[in-house]
Structure 1
Amino acid sequence: MSRMRFQLLGLLSITDGEHAAVLQPSKPTNLLAALLIHSGAVVSTDYLLRAVWDTEPPATARAALQSCVLRLRRIFAKYGIANDTIEAVPGGYRMRMDHETLDLVRFRGLVQSAGSARDAETESYVLREALALWQGPVLANVSSHMLHRDEAPRLSEERLRALERLCDIELARGRCREVLTDVWDAARRHPERERFAEQLIEALYRTGRQTEALVEIRAVKERLKEEFGIDPGAPLQRLELAILRGEELDTAPGPGVLPAIEARASTRPAALPGGVARADLPSRAPAETPAQEQAPAVAALPPAASTAHDKAHDPAHDPTSARTADTTPGHTVTSVPSLAPSPASPDAPPNSPRFNAR
């Protein structure tokens, strides 16, 4: 029997490796997302109430939270997931996930493993495997504004750091043409990150596109001046000077290149742990908007297959892809109406779309 696992890096879903049941936006879905983000940690009841309701929770919220937990457990039972996957502990709840049951845990483990790789080729391969786990914007089908505001940017930052590292390695190895598409896409999607612009300019220059590199430098300088009133950082200024002088940049991963990359990597924060000792953010108090809890909608998965589901990832997968409803090739993703919707519920989701595998 295939082992069920959760996917958080994109559409929040439950999968057996071949088919994925996508949860519709709802209060139980918000609850599940909050627990998975802090996998392994005790997540306080107060934090969960704010994540689930977004506004000042109603007087009956604690009882409603217990109802959301029961609804999730019923869904888990439908797919053979143990009832104690969500643990009730003093002060809150906890979900213990590992690299086989949650893609976020696997992503962090791969990034950590890449950092200890003995050579650049291995590190690049492992980073691509980690980045391939991202199937689109994180929390794409989670409606909690609090989670999107406080948690999604932190998770996205982990991905961008891994992508920056990968592009650094590829440039240092002289694979400028191969990485050009990656850095071009990253620089356009994230203009606020100067490092991606530097990588794009370096790749353009090293592939004989000096004029385009200088145009890119001018655009970055103008944007920084107009939006922030600042000049580009020292690395970009040095790169511009080298291009203007027509200096040849070292593309080989020799002694003067990779150690410099390692030095930069050593200054970045360590990968965030699977959770916090206790997730409990300061309380917000906007206008009270009581709402009824609603069960997340999931699609019935076919009977679990007898083969193992955890297939090796393709190292050639494009790490910069950001597809809202894509799945790994060969997988089927479905979504059906809510299991127990309330017709009068103000937050009942519209008819859910059907996502076809590509």
Structure 2
Amino acid sequence: MEQTGDELRFGVLGQLEIVGGGAPVVIAAAKQRVALVTLLLQAGNLVTRDELIDRIWADDLPADPTASLHTHIARLRRSLRAGRNLIRTHDLGYSIQAGAETLDVLRFRRLVGSAAAARSRDDTGQEARLLREALALWRGPVLADITSESLHREVVPLLEEERLRAQVRWFEACIRLGEPAEVIPELRAAVGAHPTHERLWAQLILALSLGGRPAEARETYRTVRALLRAELGLDPGPEIQQAYARHRSARTVNLS
């Protein structure tokens, strides 16, 4: 993450990352890290004490959870040094001030929103560039080093779904631009991670076909057909069928 002056910048799209004054800021205490991430994921909004306590301790509560939370927040403020005033105290809880310039998940969402605006203008090139920039902010499994069962159960899947939607849109934009080869490796990885996601398979078949790899497109269709029958007892749906039909049509034209 780029850094300007002493402003703190935060990253949650991967392991927790904090940079201040051009240098990493280390928060070693696991519970403080959970508290910070919980606040960052709702930046600018009140996070109640009850929610923070649940994220940090779940059912393994200390004798006085409110007092323990207050202590951890105080220590977290000291650990943040120049940014210790970012965390504000409210009657019911706490909030942290961060925006798209200082928090990667907010920048990701802003870029995705700008990409949607570009699409509405039929500017596919700009849409693809913005989505590529947004996806590049992901540094690995989200919150990989945060030890909170409830965050991983309730929040991480929603963030991963945001990423997947952006990936699908990027793949589509690149294919529309006539750049299928650019996304084939990422599409292969995506169907590996989401083996029953039919739109991804359809996009992979189409990208292979348009990228001059018809044999791989046919083999990919056979693979997903067998997988869906084995996993779900279903044949490929309309999107996959349409992609394969388009591939066969293009092949027929090329042979004639």
Determine if the TM-score, normalized by the shorter chain, exceeds 0.5. yes
Q: In the alignment, does 2:29 pair up with 1:58?
A: no
Deviations 1:244-287 (A, max 9, x none): 443569xxxxxxxxxxxxxxxxxxxxxxxxxxxxxxxxxxxxxx
Give the match's secondary structure for 2:89: strand
Q: Distance in 2 between matches of 1:247 and 1:89?
A: 67
Equivalent AA in structure 2 for residue 33 of structure 1: V
Cα distance change of structure 1 residues 60 and 198 upon mapping to structure 2, 3 Å threshold: same
Q: Which residue of 1 aligns with 2:91?
A: 90
Distance 1:190 1:22 in 2: 34
Aligned length: 246
**Structure 2: runs of 5+ lacking an equivalent:** none
- Is 1:5 the equivalent of 2:9? yes
Equivalent in the alignment of 2:215: 211
Q: Aligned match of 1:45 in 24, 32, 49?
A: 49
CA contact (8 A) 1:28 1:68 kept: yes
Q: Is residue 177–residue 207 contact of structure 1 (8 Å, CA) maintained in 2?
A: yes
Counterpart residue type for residue 108 of structure 2: F
Match runs of 1:172-321 below 5 Å? 172-245=176-249, 246-247=251-252
Whether the 8 Å contact between 1:30 and 1:51 is mirrored in structure 2 is yes
Contact 1:187–1:193 (CA<8 Å) still a contact in 2? yes
After alignment, is 164-173 or 2-11 more displaced?
A: 2-11
CA shift at 1:54, angstroms? 2.6
Query: Which residue is equivalent to 1:169?
Result: 173
Letter in 1 for 2:78: R
State the identity as a percent: 39
Deviations, residues 42-95 of structure 1 (Å, cap 9, x unaligned): 112111111001324233111111111011000112xx11x3311111221111
SS in 2 for 1:116: helix
AA aligned opposite 2:115? A
User: Which ranges of structure 1 fall in alignment gaps of 5 or more residues?
Assistant: 250-358
The one-letter amino acid paired with 1:158 is: E
Q: Which amino acid aligns with 1:114?
A: A
Where 2:215 maps in the other structure, the secondary structure is helix
Q: Which amino acid aligns with 2:232?
A: F
2:33 is the alignment partner of 1:32: no
Instruction: Give, in whole Å, the separation in 2 of the partners of 1:61 and 1:96.
Output: 24
Q: CA RMSD, aligned part only?
A: 1.9
Report the more deviating stretch, 132-141 or 49-58.
49-58
TM-score (norm 2): 0.89
